[in-house]
Amino acid sequence: MNEQGENGDTMFSGKIDEHAPISLGEQVYRLLVSEIEAGHIRAGEKLPSRRELAEELKVSSTTIEGALDQLVAEGICESRPRSGLYVLSPEQIPHRKKDALSIRWDFGIGAMDTAQFPYSSWAKLMRIVLSEQSAEFLRSGDPQGSPDLRKEIAGMILRMRGMEVAPDQIVVAAGTDSLVTMLITLIGRERLFAVEDPGYSRARRILIAGGARIAPVQLRDGAIDVRELYLSGAGAAYVTPGRQFPTGKEMPETCRERLLMWARETGAYILEDDYENEFFMGDRALPLMAMDSHEHVIYMNTFARTLAPGLRISYMILPRALCARYRELYGACSVPGFDQATLMKFLEGGYYDRHVKRMRTIYRQRIHSFETAVAELDLGELIGNRGLFELLKVKSSLEPSRLVPTAREAGVYLTSLSDYCITPSAENDRIVLLGLAGMDEPAIREGLSALASVWKVKS
């Protein structure tokens, strides 16, 4: 690491630009990753403390915490109790992407087609925000986020999800990672957190990094098994009822009712992650929170998929009983005021609704092209989703455990269902997840053709 010397040199080779179009948290994250990849922070080395990083980079400790949480969540670093964060060696990092130049076709579920970002509209609104010269976005601001932004988010939720919420129940934060980290403290670290298996592995890692204990619960009929929840003794459950991640199945109505009953009877909280609901091409049920009359559901969503991951703006809706406690615990919002003001105008001016509508048309075409190509290439059986990623049960002469490594050797990045399972299953190695957001239709076709070639698809 570049230690600070007597001549005033900084410990990092890069800098944080408060005027850059991406958030401070994302800049800190990228800076730390570049330092690690360049070998300036070596494997096994301890990262500087949150306080040291905040002082060095001239940003808030909350911003630093969000960036460090992301490093842990992605398996780049690990948290050691009462010691700090340490960099993992490359062989310790699970399924770490190869150098970007070696990946020709990115079917990753988090990939994004940056060409589709509404640059001109966003830039115009940024200039308007700057021209107003408001001192508000230079201050730390409301700990729940700008009241104007929360009002626009409430309107968006009503339009897009049919759920009426009060703006004072909404909390804005720098990414879902930050939301989950805050919720650990907010509802109590002493609770046992149930997680879906298979499920969102990043959320599991964030919970563990935050000092929470987790209890994996198997799925039943495409949703978390409520019977197992009762037996687990959990006091909270992280679930994806709209479309279970990663299987893509919607939680049945009867299961939703049983889950809410479990929360009422045990005093537990349900953490509802309503990821990518905007781009699911089938009928969408109302959020679980809309069915909850006893305030046991905490709803979470993000602008990472509809706009860009680099913006790192997410939000949650709290039961009223938790709002006062939140304001007692947190004194500032982790999203810069400038970004909040720009997003508020983007929502207020109707840009967001038009952008989502346009992207739904683009993604619908990609899904159709993808499904057509899979059938023509006889790659296997599509077993679910019709959203920004699809599940494919591969038809191949290869051993299931060789499917993902062989694809990556050919320049195709993807993951298997096993990557999201705690309980291993050889059959899950044959099921792969193929994200469609990061490439256009010709590239999707090329990537699938490459897979058909290297997987030696059976005729």
- 178-198 pLDDT per residue, tens: 999 999 999 999 999 999 999
Same domain as 377, residue 337: no
Q: What percent of the chain has pLDDT over 70?
A: 92
Same domain as 362, residue 319: no
Q: Can you give the pLDDT at residue 390?
A: 94
Please compute, for residue 369, the number of CA atoms within 13 A of its CA located in the half-sphere on the CB side. Answer: 20
Contacts of 375 (CB under 8 A, 6+ apart): none
In a domain, 128, yes or no: no
Mean pLDDT of 310-317: 93
Q: Can you give the pLDDT at residue 265?
A: 97
Given 348, 382, 410, the domain boundary residue is 348
Q: The domain spanning residue 276 has which CATH number?
A: 3.40.640.10
Mean pLDDT of 146-175: 96
- pLDDT top residue among 224 and 39: 224
CA distance 271 to 322: 13
- pLDDT top residue among 7 and 340: 340
In a domain, 12, yes or no: no
In a domain, 340, yes or no: yes
Same domain as 374, residue 330: no
Q: Can you give the pLDDT at residue 90?
A: 59
| Burial class of residue 395, CB neighbours in 10 A (0-12, 13-18, 19+) | middle
Same domain as 257, residue 303: yes
CA distance 167 to 165: 6
Same domain as 199, residue 57: no
Same domain as 110, residue 86: no
- 102-125 pLDDT per residue, tens: 788 999 988 888 889 999 999 999
Given 348, 376, 402, the domain boundary residue is 348
CA distance 414 to 434: 6
pLDDT at 95 over 80: no
Same domain as 286, residue 239: yes
- 370-429 pLDDT per residue, tens: 999 999 999 999 997 778 999 999 999 899 988 998 998 899 999 999 888 988 777 888
Which residues constitute the domain of residue 201?
Answer: 133-348
In a domain, 14, yes or no: no
Same domain as 427, residue 279: no
Q: Can you give the pLDDT at residue 99?
A: 47
pLDDT at 96 over 70: no
CA distance 172 to 300: 10
In a domain, 288, yes or no: yes
- Give the model's confidence band at 3: pLDDT under 50 very low, under 70 low, under 90 confident, else very high: very low
Same domain as 301, residue 286: yes
Helices 351-377 and 441-454, interaxial angle, to 10°? 30
Q: Can you give the pLDDT at residue 93?
A: 54
- Give the model's confidence band at 453: pLDDT under 50 very low, under 70 low, under 90 confident, else very high: very high
Q: For the whole model, what pTM was predicted? A: 0.78
Q: Can you give the pLDDT at residue 5?
A: 38
Mean pLDDT of 95-99: 45
Q: Can you give the pLDDT at residue 205?
A: 86
Mean pLDDT of 38-59: 84
Same domain as 358, residue 343: no
- Give the model's confidence band at 71: pLDDT under 50 very low, under 70 low, under 90 confident, else very high: confident
Backbone angles phi, psi at 147, to 5 degrees: -55, -35
- 251-302 pLDDT per residue, tens: 999 999 999 999 999 999 999 999 988 988 877 889 999 999 999 999 999 9
Mean pLDDT of 157-184: 95
Q: The domain spanning residue 410 has which CATH number?
A: 3.90.1150.10
In a domain, 7, yes or no: no
- pLDDT top residue among 42 and 7: 42
Same domain as 394, residue 425: yes
Q: Which residue carries 């077993």 as its tokens?
A: 383
**Structural contact between residues 447 and 412, judged by C-beta atoms closer than 8 angstroms:** yes
- pLDDT top residue among 93 and 74: 74
Q: Can you give the pLDDT at residue 70?
A: 77
CA distance 407 to 223: 30
**Structural contact between residues 341 and 137, judged by C-beta atoms closer than 8 angstroms:** yes
How many independent structural domains does the chain possess? 3
Given 319, 348, 377, the domain boundary residue is 348
Same domain as 151, residue 260: yes
Q: What is the mean pLDDT of the chain?
A: 87
Mean pLDDT of 347-369: 96
pLDDT at 10 over 70: no
pLDDT at 21 over 60: no
Report which DSSP code applies to 430.
Answer: G
In a domain, 18, yes or no: no
In a domain, 29, yes or no: yes
pLDDT at 337 over 80: yes
Structure tokens that stand for 132 in this block: 């107003």
